[in-house]
Structure 1
């Protein structure tokens, strides 16, 4: 509805007309006008808003199937007697069979002077995530009275939270929501959500160091009347930041304990990020589409939790966020979710963006059964060839006790609203979101050369402690893509010439030698050179610390009698 009112303002309509039309729309008394799909020109009407582009943009999707539902479809969320949408789901703090659900209360056709967020403890029963008791409003501090002007006056009439996000930081969960602002029309507020939830005994006995009361997050140099859809993220040291905007240019700053403004940090990486986004962001039509921050963030390490050499560091760990390609076609919203990764240390530059949006199994074509409030009274206006409006609101790790950080093979929940009427959740592995990332252009310089060496990790040249062949198990190697590369350098080893107790190491290097020869033949035709350099044992590095000194003395003797050629 904020989009509705703000767009009417741009049409330069009388403020009283804007106010009355917006209130009618909130009650679903204002039908969308019938627009011919053959009509190519832009269409504006004082009774409603938006361009007349009829057919949504077509995408090639990455399909997401549930790990636990019987048919792979998402799990619907049953809230009890009060309807709600745009779900947030986080693990219950003490019961590993329950999850906390928070949704926006659907209040169409009702008195809407007080917006509300509903919450419950829920369990998976009979094909759905069911609230054990009817979802009830969160006891959120009452809004201040609004100072919205002109066509946004209607927001002064509706107090309370909207568009809430519930998410874990590194230690505690937070609630962030939109409401009347102290310095603009609508702003973002944050509070420690433990103080509102029975699952945390409403904060009794807890030390609350940050955001004990509702605190507005201010943004420096704000010019617009509405701020929304911020998300927080944390670096590896636990310092928090607020990400205000992703597109058309990024904006983020360090989080202040009192919510006050701090200097925008995005300028440090703006040039590189802008190049990355121009190349990798989905296309946007100016008259009907935009890019829209959607979920909270999570920290993810790009290797498997049980791998011995999988140790989180600045090279393998990123901040993950889901944004929407947001479009309105024939007055119906269609949002497509994409994932973005950026570095987890300053200057937090972009790393990768998914090539395809996600299609949740169970998403259907838009029909009267979709129960969209926009068409309940006017099913004749349902546009043809539209799919249901899915709005991603929340990411959370599925495992109880897991908060902000995870690994690529961990399970997570994606929660969403459907047509501003229903809620759903789907469980997937993190790698399901990251299988088709486009990243080469996001590096500071184009990738032209690949060097394949031993994996960075905990390998030691110590034959006494190495596992034997019969003790090993097979593991699947992750695939990789090569873009813009014209040189590949593989690192071999001189240990291939001697019997040594490093069967896995020399076996892999032998395979790499054969791979190098084959690749040089096949990829040479594509102007890609492939070579191998084989060195000897280095003295003394961490990996060779257990190698007897006699070995190095032998190497020195051989070196002394080996002539070198220029």
Structure 2
């Protein structure tokens, strides 16, 4: 079968540098990234690593935002998450575009906290204490659920990964998002399983197989790829395979004398994208999964990242098809640590086309199993499911909102078309 990326395996911009994808922001007048300016009463520590979800068209505010912060009790830091509704604004002095809180933010209340099991925190024993919530990832599932994966003290290891539906944590969020017909499958903090847990686990993300009733998989690692179905019973199977050289070859073999090191670091959630403009019909042959991965670079105590989109088959076992070159966000500095956190389709705030209508646009092969099987399984009407799956799936001419932290002290975001994000694809061997 012909690789679905074959039509994208070239640079549409003749001035594109062969080693980077330079991304301009379509939401700002000068094309530079927009800062995310957060406000919380009596806050003493910076906010960073923003997760932004768009509200439906016609909402009072365009976005919901969640950031990471911390507090200090005596000599211990406690990690916390805070949220607010976001609106567009401009800085008073220079006139830069920013997203800022419409009203002062609120801290998420998770209720109970716990310590890690005795003896599970070997490398850093202090992590066994109640750490709070770290490294949040907000995303829409293929069912349209607003989910959050985050890290906290594990039940079976030192620090683990948990999943929860944001609608049970944020008052009124269900109504604001118009998701009353979408079931809540994760009403409480649910620890995500894994065979052979590491002492510290972080930055997992979910993938959905649209031709297998949208079955969920957890993606753990890229090097020696490791993923498994997300299930709620005691059985767990893990698929492992060596990662393709298209990801491996990002690593540099540093000698010990250089004091430098590098690693592949998972970053964002996944999105489903059809490799043509709306309203071309999505099929298994033209639709792929994408996710942003980091090349984590360190010299002595200096840390920074390079960013790449990895492109995978839309169905299990999610074979890697290719990747982009280094993503460079306009307005960020090469001397700053810029960490990509999440990405989401932003179709309502930057509408490029009308919603899908099967009577006008035809059938959708890739969603056939989703409509017939998943809808029945979750007591949803097929039409409701198609509407909510639109939050996970998009086309090349749809807008993607990318959110990133800056030096663990600031936050930013950038809007790009999926076509621009996926320019200059390098195909796997």
| Alignment TM class, shorter chain as reference | 0.7 to 0.9
1:71 shift after superposition: 1.1
Tell me the equivalent position of 1:172.
Answer: 145
Report the Cα distance in structure 2 between the residues aligned to 1:96 and 1:439, rounded to whole angstroms.
43
Q: Please identify which structure carries the higher strand content.
A: 2
1:274 shift after superposition: 3.5
1:106 shift after superposition: 4.5
Tell me the equivalent position of 2:22.
Answer: 63
Report the Cα distance in structure 2 between the residues aligned to 1:184 and 1:63, rounded to whole angstroms.
40
Distance 1:347 1:179, change over 3 A: same
1:232 to 186, 206, 225: 206
1:427 and 2:390 aligned = no
TM-score normalised to the size of structure 1? 0.58
Tell me the equivalent position of 1:330.
Answer: 300
* Mean CA deviation greater in 108-117 or 235-244: 108-117
Say whether the 8 Å CA contact 2:21–2:423 is kept in structure 1. no
Q: Please identify which structure carries the higher helix content.
A: 1
1:185 and 2:161 aligned = no
TM-score normalised to the size of structure 2? 0.76
1:201 shift after superposition: 5.0
Matches within 5 A, 1:40-55: none
Distance 1:206 1:145, change over 3 A: farther
Report the Cα distance in structure 1 between the residues aligned to 2:204 and 2:415, rounded to whole angstroms.
24
1:388 to 322, 336, 342: 336
Based on CA coordinates, which of the two structures has the bigger radius of gyration? Answer: 1
Report the Cα distance in structure 2 between the residues aligned to 1:439 and 1:305, rounded to whole angstroms.
24
Tell me the equivalent position of 1:414.
Answer: 402
Say whether the 8 Å CA contact 2:263–2:295 is kept in structure 1. yes
Report the Cα distance in structure 2 between the residues aligned to 1:210 and 1:284, rounded to whole angstroms.
44
Tell me the equivalent position of 1:251.
Answer: 226
Say whether the 8 Å CA contact 1:324–1:335 is kept in structure 2. yes
1:398 and 2:346 aligned = yes
After superposition, the CA RMSD in angstroms is 2.4
Tell me the equivalent position of 2:103.
Answer: 133
Report the Cα distance in structure 1 between the residues aligned to 2:207 and 2:132, rounded to whole angstroms.
25
1:363 and 2:332 aligned = yes
Tell me the equivalent position of 1:90.
Answer: 53
Say whether the 8 Å CA contact 1:119–1:135 is kept in structure 2. yes
Matches within 5 A, 1:531-546: none
Distance 1:91 1:63, change over 3 A: same
1:347 to 293, 317, 321: 317
Q: Deviations over 1:130-165 (max 9, x none)?
A: 111122211224332123434412112343110010
Report the Cα distance in structure 2 between the residues aligned to 1:314 and 1:220, rounded to whole angstroms.
30
1:121 and 2:93 aligned = no
Report the Cα distance in structure 2 between the residues aligned to 1:198 and 1:323, rounded to whole angstroms.
32
Aligned length: 350
Matches within 5 A, 1:469-484: none
Specify the SS of the correspondent of 1:114. Answer: strand
Report the Cα distance in structure 2 between the residues aligned to 1:245 and 1:261, rounded to whole angstroms.
20
Distance 1:328 1:199, change over 3 A: farther
1:264 and 2:242 aligned = no
Say whether the 8 Å CA contact 1:211–1:257 is kept in structure 2. no
1:303 and 2:276 aligned = yes
* Mean CA deviation greater in 285-294 or 187-196: 285-294
Specify the SS of the correspondent of 1:188. Answer: strand
Report the Cα distance in structure 1 between the residues aligned to 2:54 and 2:347, rounded to whole angstroms.
7
Report the Cα distance in structure 2 between the residues aligned to 1:424 and 1:108, rounded to whole angstroms.
25
Tell me the equivalent position of 1:154.
Answer: 126
Q: Deviations over 1:343-368 (max 9, x none)?
A: 011221111111x2111111125xxx
Say whether the 8 Å CA contact 2:121–2:157 is kept in structure 1. no
Report the Cα distance in structure 2 between the residues aligned to 1:196 and 1:109, rounded to whole angstroms.
24
Distance 1:208 1:362, change over 3 A: same
Unaligned runs of 5+ in 2: 1-17, 91-96, 349-387
Say whether the 8 Å CA contact 1:106–1:421 is kept in structure 2. no
Distance 1:100 1:289, change over 3 A: same
Q: Which has the higher contact order (CA 8 A, sep 6+)?
A: 2
Specify the SS of the correspondent of 2:267. Answer: strand
Distance 1:277 1:66, change over 3 A: closer
1:111 shift after superposition: 6.0
Say whether the 8 Å CA contact 2:121–2:127 is kept in structure 1. no
Q: Deviations over 1:243-267 (max 9, x none)?
A: 01112x1101111135x56211234
Say whether the 8 Å CA contact 2:77–2:131 is kept in structure 1. yes
Report the Cα distance in structure 1 between the residues aligned to 2:68 and 2:235, rounded to whole angstroms.
28
Report the Cα distance in structure 2 between the residues aligned to 1:158 and 1:332, rounded to whole angstroms.
28
Say whether the 8 Å CA contact 1:219–1:262 is kept in structure 2. yes
Distance 1:275 1:363, change over 3 A: closer
